[in-house]
Each structure stands twice: as C-alpha cells, then as structure tokens.
Structure 1
Amino acid sequence: MADLRAFIRDRATALGFDACRFASASEPWSAGERLAHFVEAGRHGEMGWMETTIERRAHPTAMWPDARTAVVLGLNYGPDADPLPEMADASAGYVSVYARGDDYHEVIKGRLKTLAGQIAARTGQEVKVFVDTAPLMEKPLAQRAGLGWQGKHTNLLSREHGNWLFLGVILTAAEIAPDAAEAEHCGTCTACLHACPTQAFPAPFQLDARRCLSYLTVEFAGPWPEEFRRATGSRIYGCDDCLAVCPWNKFARSASEMRLRPRSELESPRIVDLLALDDAGFRALFAKSPVKRIGRNRFVRNVLYAAGNSGDSALVEPARALLTDVDPVVADAAAWALERLAAD
C-alpha cells in the first residue's frame, strides 16, 4: 500500500500537480445534507442542474457505487501579487485570476487521464476522472483528503497555497489508505465575509449564490437587479474579493504552469475595446479561455454594467451603439450604463 501511494504521488508530481492526497470515497459524510439545505433554501439560483442532480451529488457512491478511494489532485494558479488594486482603474475590466489563462479544465483533464490510466494499470481496478464537470463535490473530498478546508467563504483554503488551487479528482474502485482530513483554520478571522461587495454570505461557511458576483457574471443569464449592477464595479467575469483578502495567501506562490499564467490581454483589458466585440471577436479573444463558455452576449452585458460604473465619458458612444443590440439583455444593460454615465 505504501508503495502504491508513493507511486501515485510520484506520477502526480511528474505530471505537474502541486498536491496529491487520498480520501475514502465510500465512508459517510455530511456534505450531501449541507447541499440539500443549500438547494432547499433556493440559494443555488438558476443553477437548475444542482437540483436535478442532487441525489447523485449527495455522495460519491451515489454517482458510482463501486468508488472506494478518491485521489485528489491540486494545481496552483496563484497570481504574482494581490489582484484587487487593479480595480482602481475603473476604465478597465476585471477578470478573475482563474480565468486569465487557459481553461483549467483542459489543462488538468489530460493529466488526470494519464494518471488515472497509470493507477488502473497498477491496481487492475476501474477509475473515473473528474474536473468540475460531473455531479461530484470536489471541495469536501479535498478537505477529507487533507488538501485544505472549506473556509468561511465556502471555497477550499490551503495553508500552503492559500485560495489559489484548482482541483481534480480520480475515483477508483481500489482501496487505498486515506490521508488525515484537514481541520478548519479560519479561527476568528472574518476578512472574506466583510470583503464581499454584495454581502453574499448569510453566515460563516454559507453562501447565497444569488448574491455572488461570480454566479451573476458567469451563471446568470438575465438582467441583474439594480443593487448588483452597482456593486459589480469593474468586475466583468468572476470576483476574487473574498479569496484575495485571505491572510493565508501570504504562504501562496505564483503559478508555475505556463498555461495558467495570465494572458496580457486579460490583465486590465480596456472596457472600450470589450464593448466593440461581436461574436467572432469574442470567440477569437477568448479562445481556450473559460470565459468563452458564457458567450458574447452575457459577457458584453457584464462589460456594460462595468461601463456604467466607470464614470468614463469616453464610454458613452460605445454604450450608445449597443442600445439596438439584437439581444434585449445587452440593450437593457446599455440603457442602464448610459443612464449611469449621464448621472456622473
């Protein structure tokens, strides 16, 4: 067993993963019950897939009855510096750190498949690979495996990597000795809760996605309520506030994986340029990026809200040009942006 664990960790390191630990995939846990309460309260918003797959999400074996062990992998995507000061430039859009490089699903998936094949060959047991694309709760598994803990902002938090860690999971039917679970180390700190621009945390360790800018910019398709349009500031894809203020980031380091390093065009992109994007331009700019999945219309809606908050009169005409956009949500956002710019 020790040789198998060492073999898997060696192979994971060779593939570029920054963390590799093991957890039981079959023992009982409370994560399914917490998820049920989250959905029952409606805090999942328009993410209907969470409701339709809730029984399969309740436990790893609810999705795959033969699962016995979870091999949990982490890949660091830490920024070079605190990204939040970038928002001082209101005429530039803010893209979440995780989305400034290549799509992490594509970066991790191939490596997971390679490692999974090696585990299957070594153990003779079936394996399945997950990168945030199936009804598997990776964060509770990561805590059970000892990679970190779910902080008061509900994201995984590591004493070694801070908040900046992508997760991938290999489930196997092989029995592999688990690592010790990680305890919660937030203490009395509430920095993440107070940093949230929309007060999306009803209580520590609880999130109301309907108020979260990451949810609104990425998952929500319609026009936003007024309060969230103002609160988004220059954030046009995702939000890092609760992550970036965490004191544990002092131990984090910059990402070494080149495909996760930020593209220059996604560091403080100019709002005026983004407002001019048509569908072809959007797809060209965000090729291989996770941003591409929300499509041009939803993205330009986000950019228009940022334009309205910018106070930049140079954005009046670009916003006016979108009043007649074929997408009614984009046209609505353009009207709001112009109203805000005129008020300033």
Structure 2
Amino acid sequence: MGPPGGLDHRPAGRAGRADRQGEGAMQVVCLSERFDLKALFGAAFAGHAPGLELCRPEEADAAAVRHAFVYDPGPQDFARFPALELACSWGAGVDALLLHPGLPDRLAVKRMTDPEQARQMAGFAVYNVVGWSRRLWDYPARQSAARWEETPTVAPSDFPVGILGMGNMGRACAAALRGLGYPVMGWAGRARREGGIEIVSGDGGLAYVAQTSAAVICVLPLTAATRGLLNAAVFADMRSDAILIQLGRGAHLNEPDLIAALDAGRPAMAALDVFQTEPLPPDDPLWRHPRVRVTPHIASAASPENVARSIAAGIAAWERGERPEGLVDRAQGY
C-alpha cells in the first residue's frame, strides 16, 4: 500500500539525475531543531558516505537539494526546500515525523535500518528475560549484605515469551530468545506462521499472548492503532508472575494504568526503557516503584557510521529508481 494519493514515493527515470549537481558530492540538508546533525555525523559521512555532503540549512542549495537527514525538524524546515524528495530519519521510529504539520504529502520518508541496532535490541530483550526468569536481579542486594542465598529459577522451556511487533526488531528478539530455549509467540497486524513462530493478531490474539506469556515484550511501531495499547485491560490479562518489557515507544504505555496494575500484583514486574516524557522527570513515581526497572532509552542505538551507511544506501537506491530499505508506508505509519 502506498502513501496518500496513490503515490508509491519511488522515483522514475532517475538515471543521470545525480550528474546535474556536477562532479562533487550530492548535498543532503540536515533538518533538526534539537541537534547539529552535521557536527554529530559529518565525520562518519565523510568516511562511509563520501558521495554525500551533509549541509546545514544555510549551506544548502535550497532550490536544488533533494535529500534531507532529519530529526525533530522545525515547523518551516520542509517549506524552505521545495525540491526535497526523500527525508531520511535518524531514528527507527518515525511517528513524530509523520505527524509534523509541515511534512509534504509528496515527500517520501525513510526510517533508519541497521542490523546492528536490531541485534542490540535483541540483546537487551534477552538481558531482561534472563534477568527475570533466573531472578538475577535478587543478587546485588545479597552481595551487599554478604548473604549466600540462591533463588529458585525457571527453565527457559517453561518460560514462554510473547513479542508485540514482529518487524525487524521483533524478529531479532525472537531469534535470540529461541536460541536460548525460550518458547516465543508473536502478535502483529496479520496472523501467520513465520520461521516456526506462531503470530496472532487482533484483540483476541493480544489477550491470549498476555494470558499465556511469562514475559511480554513490546517492540511495536507507534501508530494510531497501537497508541495506548499497553493499558489496564492488557495488564488484567497478564500472569501474576509475568514481566512487561517495554522497548517500543513511550506512547504505547498508559503509565498510570501500569502503576495501578503493579500495585495490584499483575504483572509482577516491569522493565521500561521508553516513556511518555523523556527524560523521565525526577519526581515521576516510576523511578521509585519497587517493581519497576528504569533505563534511559538505551536498548539500542545506531552508531554514526551505521547511520551514514544506511542513509547512503537509501539515497543510492532512490537515485537508481529502486525502493530504499526502510521506506515508510505513510498510510500504515511505519
């Protein structure tokens, strides 16, 4: 399915287009209110994407530049560059970008794709699943008390894991966990069987995953359908010994509902890496809740070198008239 208006946001007849800018590198304008993207990524692009020249807005040829590197762009940024065709996001999540009031309908959007980032996410999911299933988090306090005491654990084969979202991140998490012997089930927009994993869908499928999983991992994209998905109804279905591992987007989670559910004993624990407000305010009750583990949005991060490679590959594909990896279906939101 293509973006609104039936456009598929792929170039046609692009051969030779890059030559119009001459023999030099192709300009890529950096659009961000929060960061100087050129300062952060200039060296990586010089080393790994030498055919591209990162430019600040005032340095770019406003009438000719066709590609942008974006993260939290300003309200008028897109209007300043009418020839833009492809916006490459620094982040894997593009929900905020797609809601930008100045984002033109004609503009294609590419999200960050990085196999290393998916492996990092999988490692972080494994860390939390193993930490909870083997009760490894009990031991720092015992070490401080010089107390030699073992906690009974659960074998991986008896610890089913449900993964909400079976895209690149979800598949990487599933592969890593299955490799350690954990049974895995997925939940996504379309029911299917993929790589030996049963993937269910719909409200009934979500309830089933919540009811049967000892760990529920969220790595969903944020869309209108998934906003607020982790709420009181889901928590009421979860097992009393289960852990919620929230690695998706902050707006997936109804935080007051979670606190109430934890206080009621279902689920037993939550490991949260993303939040409605970031940084998490110092007075937020999640910091001090005894059944919550907080990490500051560090489950995965693309290196500057891999960001440069991903954007260079996407722009090269676009220039050849091909569909770049990570091209966003704006109708679906990811």
Indicate the TM-score class for this superposition, using the shorter chain for normalisation: under 0.3
Larger Rg: 2
